[in-house]
């Protein structure tokens, strides 16, 4: 069976934009329509959305490469808070607690792998931007018992010293935790 790569939708499948009654993002104004699920006052500029997505990717890569907790710390403001209590980890506040947590991961995990999908701009007020994404995380602790999580990341970000950084990071379990 061969795939139709012509870019045309199969006639039996309505196009997503037609079903939703929406067109493509309004790129002429530099704005994203991936916005306003009732949580923010305005549309997030496309360049901010791209920057926040890059920050999330940088964070995941820093965790997965596991070599240097400072790469993880660099994704956050000095006064950042991370709340992973929904999956049994403590709330971390500030660079020292964040650094200690990720240094512990480096020591205790043999392997880690995270896949982020469906990024969504959730909030924009002109200064603060919030992005969410579904994440599948897999890991192998040194103890050998594989871990798998399906969570939703929520990163509230601001510009700090000329770069976007996360000041509040939470995750919510989307599926029951497995070991």
Q: Which domains, from first to last, does the chain contain?
A: 29-173 (3.10.450.50)
* Cβ proximity of 167 and 133 under 8 Å: no
- Whole-model pTM above 0.85? no
As a whole number of Å, the end-to-end CA separation of the chain is: 38
Q: What is the mean pLDDT of residues 152-158?
A: 98
Which pLDDT tens digit goes with each residue over 63-72? 999 778 999 9
Query: What's the mean pLDDT in 60-80?
Result: 93
| Model pLDDT, residue 2 | 41
Residue 135 host element (H or E): strand 129-141
């Amino acid at each position: 069976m061969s795939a139709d790569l012509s870019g045309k939708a199969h006639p039996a499948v309505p196009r997503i934009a037609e079903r939703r009654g929406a067109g493509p993002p309004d790129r002429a104004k530099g704005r994203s329509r991936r916005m306003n699920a009732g949580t923010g006052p305005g549309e997030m500029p496309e360049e901010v959305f791209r920057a926040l997505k890059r920050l999330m990717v940088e964070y995941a890569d820093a965790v997965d490469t596991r070599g240097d907790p400072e790469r993880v710390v660099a994704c956050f403001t000095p006064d950042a808070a991370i709340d992973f209590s929904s999956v049994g980890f403590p709330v971390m506040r500030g660079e020292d607690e964040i650094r200690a947590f990720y240094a512990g991961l480096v020591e205790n995990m043999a392997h880690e792998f995270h896949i982020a999908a469906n990024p969504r701009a959730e909030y924009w007020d002109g200064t603060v931007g919030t992005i969410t994404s579904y994440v599948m995380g897999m890991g192998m602790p040194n103890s050998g018992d594989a871990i798998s999580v399906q969570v939703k990341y929520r990163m509230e970000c601001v510009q700090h010293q000329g770069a976007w950084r996360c000041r509040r990071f939470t995750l919510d379990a989307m599926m029951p935790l497995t070991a």
